Chains A and B, each alone.
Chain A
Amino acid sequence: MIFVLPFVQLLILVNAATMDMRNIKMIIVDKDLSSLSRRLSDKFLQSPFFSLEKTGISTDEAEKEMLVNATDMILVIPGGFEEQIYGEGRAVLQVQVDAINGMTAGLINAYSSQIISSFNRELISGDGGNAYMTGDSQTINIGYSFWYNSELKFKYYMVPGILVILVTVISMFLSSLNLVREKEMGTIEQINVTPIRKYQFIIGKLVPFWIIALFELAFGLLIGKILFNIPVEGSLLLLFAFASVFLVAVLGVGMLISTLSHTQQQAQFLNFFVLITFVMMSGIFTPAESMPHWAQQVNYVNPLAYFMRVIRMILLKGSAFSDISGDFIAISTMAVVLISLATWRYRKIA
């Protein structure tokens, strides 16, 4: 169970967590019905991003469709569109986007304005408008290249992130629930009366989970490599070195949670709370730099934020030890502090 579930998850989540827009559902309300308006509609339909849901209905009807989520976007081509273009040289289109999800609304808007402006350019050049544009206008050619992920594959970004979540979930749950379970069952008292020292007990408890989690990470990387062909630019040794320190910190958090709770239910709740908060703040979905200042400061004590950054740096960019030495020092300090805290909080009394 511990091994199968996470990997089914890896498969599902990586595919689910995608921001590549496809099949944007749109409705075109064409009030002009001219050859020009049809050319514009065709432009949208030829694009791989849009799929036409309905056409030939009124604006009101289209808005009703948006209410029932049958469309993401409505394009209204006003009557007299063609006349205005050829007569006055300007026309106004109306675009309505369902903006409840602000992120996708922004993307939809970007795609549609791209299509409209390329249509605009086409009209200018096709109608001999070129003469107006050249002359002594100045242009700046902007070349651009995307480093480390030239095809902009979102999967390369997500796989490392999801691996971080998986190993964190596994190690935190195992470590926090294990001790509480012994408390709940009463078996902890038997250990308490043995001569074993506090730190020996804690370490003994944690080593197996530590090994399981590292193994899990290796397995996950292998799957990521085989199935998603994620790049491994940097040194795996460095990655595992960082991961082993990171896991000590996470196990420390788990241990701390278990010393703070009496029942598995409590521990579980604390786990969810800490985990969801850590994950959301770690920058897995949205870059940590665009978070407000206070959130960035909180991230200084969020082990996931470090690992999330480092695993992507090592795998995708091939960063070396010198690039991540700051993170290394921070995560090591955190590991030491958390483990000591857990040992100190653990009392040999029931």
Chain B
Amino acid sequence: MKEFLGFVKKEFYHIFRDPRTLVVLFGLPVAQILIFGFVIRNEMEDVRIAILDKSKDAVTLEITDKLLASGFFSLDHYLNSQYEVEKYFRAGKIREVIIFEENFSEKLEKEGKADMQLLADASDPNSAKMIVNYTRGIVANYLNDLNRELKMPIVIESRVRMMYNADLKSAFMFVPGTMALILTLVSAIMTSITITREKEMGTMEALLVSPLRPFQIIAGKVTPYILLSCINAGIIILLGYFVFGLPIRGSMILLFAETILFITLALSLGIMISTVSNSQLVAMFISAFALLLPALLLSGFIFPVENMPKVLQWLCHIMPPKYFITIIRSVMLKGTGILEVWKETAVLAGMLVFFLGISAARFKVRLQ
């Protein structure tokens, strides 16, 4: 036991003697949360548009005012002819062109209808859809005001409640996701690298001939990272709470226990990667492509799993971060207890046993 503690101490020195690693280790989560929180936003504002107004009369000017007053659009400039549209789209300066036909207000007055054209740059399809819908909404509002005296005979009103996240804050989505990402990064990737590093440098042999048993070597290697990961998880939750007002509706103890479970799982993945790779470069490539990107994209972090093709959904089901993110969202934001997340927890626990088993079977006491 004494040898083991000495070994753990040595590993701590390895990490703490290097301020760079330390800064990144703790600076990373903070920076990541702040960046995601402030930069990734669902809503758009100040969308640059151009207007081709062939009438320039009272009505078109009023509609233009309404559009610009919404704060959603900002006018880049007025166009003189339709031929200019292509030029401005290509230069990427504007996202939408609004065209009013000639004699707009006159037609509206006399014939009761007038035509508008919206041209949207759909090279970013989702934004284009949003922009067009928004423009139509504003014009429809304007029309409603015009026709106020006419009443609709039947009105079905729908009251929408946005559950758990009334303000649709994006922080609710990315804080759990970032947590999974950071914990994967710190636990799995750092572990795999530190073990392969000993192999690469040839110092693994020195460790293997020491009185420490192989199990103790590995346990000693990962202990510091368990601690660091816990601190990181704490930092992330606190930041979410204080900076973005993320509630913690469920039990703290459950949250903590699930986090420990995921950290251990990530560490066992790291150990497994280190048993199959002989150089740090290989370990990093496997980590980056097999762990990091899936944690980002195949976990429901940004893109919902349900929208993916079936094959990919299966793939998502073998990704640990997916379950962890579901658990964190449920416990933290919905306030569920273990009864509602026992399935996900069981899957994670099963994966943990599986990966530890593989690593134990593959771990070689001899190097060659």
Contacts and interface: CB of A to CB of B under 8 A. Distances in A.
Interface stretch (A62-70, A202-210, A342-350): A62-70
Contact of A95 (B136, B161, B306): B161
A85 B25 CA distance: 61
B12 interface: no
Contacts of B284: 173, 177, 264, 268
A323 interface: yes
Contacts of A144: 117-120, 132, 136
A148 B89 contact: yes
A66 B334 CA distance: 9
Given A264-B284, A295-B38, A96 B119 contact: no
B174 to A, nearest CB: 9
Contacts of B289: 5-6, 9
B95 to A, nearest CB: 8
Interface string B102-114: 0000001100111
Q: Which of B190, B282, B289, B333 has the most CB of A within 10 A?
A: B289
A103 B42 contact: yes
A145 B120 contact: yes
Contacts of A21: 307
Contacts of A85: 154, 156
Of the four ranges (under 10, 10 to 19, 20 to 34, 35 or more), the interface on chain B belongs to 35 or more
A94 B161 contact: yes
Interface stretch (B16-24, B215-223, B233-241, B357-365): B16-24
Q: Which of A17, A102, A266 has the most CB of B within 10 A?
A: A102
B367 interface: no
Contacts of B297: 12-13, 16-17
B158 A19 contact: no
B38 A292 contact: yes
A138 B48 contact: no
B57 to A, nearest CB: 13
Nearest to B299: A16
Nearest to A326: B91
B288 interface: yes
B292 A102 contact: no
Nearest to B337: A67
A280 B119 contact: no
Q: Which of B127, B154, B170, B340 has the most CB of A within 10 A?
A: B154
B54 to A, nearest CB: 14
B119 A269 contact: no
A153 interface: yes
B18 A290 contact: no
B65 interface: no
Interface string A89-122: 1111111111111111110011011001101100
A329 to B, nearest CB: 14
B336 interface: yes
A218 interface: no
B308 interface: yes
Contact of B39 (A92, A154, A260, A280): A280
Contacts of A262: 18
A131 B96 CA distance: 36
Nearest to B132: A144
B275 interface: no
B1 interface: no
Contacts of B109: 138
Interface string A80-93: 00000100011111
B84 interface: no
Interface in A188-234: none
B156 A264 contact: no
A201 B292 CA distance: 32
B185 A272 contact: yes
A146 B125 contact: yes
A154 B125 contact: yes
7 contacts: A117-B156, A138-B146, A157-B125, A273-B31, A277-B31, A280-B40, A286-B39
Interface of B: 18, 20-21, 24-25, 27-28, 31-32, 35-36, 38-48, 89-92, 95, 108-109, 112-129, 132-133, 135-136, 139, 142-143, 146-147, 150-166, 168-170, 172-173, 181, 185, 189-190, 193-194, 197, 201, 280-282, 284-285, 288-289, 292-293, 297-298, 302-304, 306-309, 312, 315-316, 326, 329-330, 333-334, 336, 340-341
7 closest Cβ contacts across the A-B interface? A102-B168, A146-B122, A99-B162, A144-B118, A152-B125, A316-B123, A99-B165
